[in-house]
Amino acid sequence: MTSPVCVRCGGPVAVVGDEWTCGTHGRIEPLHQPLPAEHHHLWDVASSSAVPVWVPVPPPSGWTASGVRRTGGTGPARGVALSLQGPGVTTRVAELVIVSEEPGVGLGAAYAGIDGTDPGPEITSLPRDTSLHVGGQRAPLWSLPVSDRSAYVGEAAGCWLWVVAWPVTEWMVIHDSLTLLDLRENRERVAEVPVGALTPRLAI
In a domain, 124, yes or no: yes
Provide the pLDDT confidence category of residue 1 given band limits of 50, 70 and 90.
low
Summarised one tens digit per residue, pLDDT across range 77-93 is: 999 999 999 999 899 99
Summarised one tens digit per residue, pLDDT across range 20-69 is: 999 999 999 999 999 999 999 999 999 999 999 999 998 999 999 999 99
In a domain, 8, yes or no: no
Provide the pLDDT confidence category of residue 121 given band limits of 50, 70 and 90.
confident
Alpha carbons within 13 A on the beta-carbon side of 180: 30
Burial (CB < 10 A; 0-12, 13-18, 19+), residue 56, is buried
Expressed as residue numbers, the domain containing 53 is 30-202
Residues 6+ apart with CB under 8 A from 136: none
d(Cα 132, Cα 169) in Å, to the nearest integer? Answer: 19
Summarised one tens digit per residue, pLDDT across range 144-174 is: 888 899 999 999 999 999 999 999 999 988 8
In a domain, 13, yes or no: no
- How many distinct structural domains can be found in the chain? 1
In a domain, 15, yes or no: no
pTM of the model: 0.95
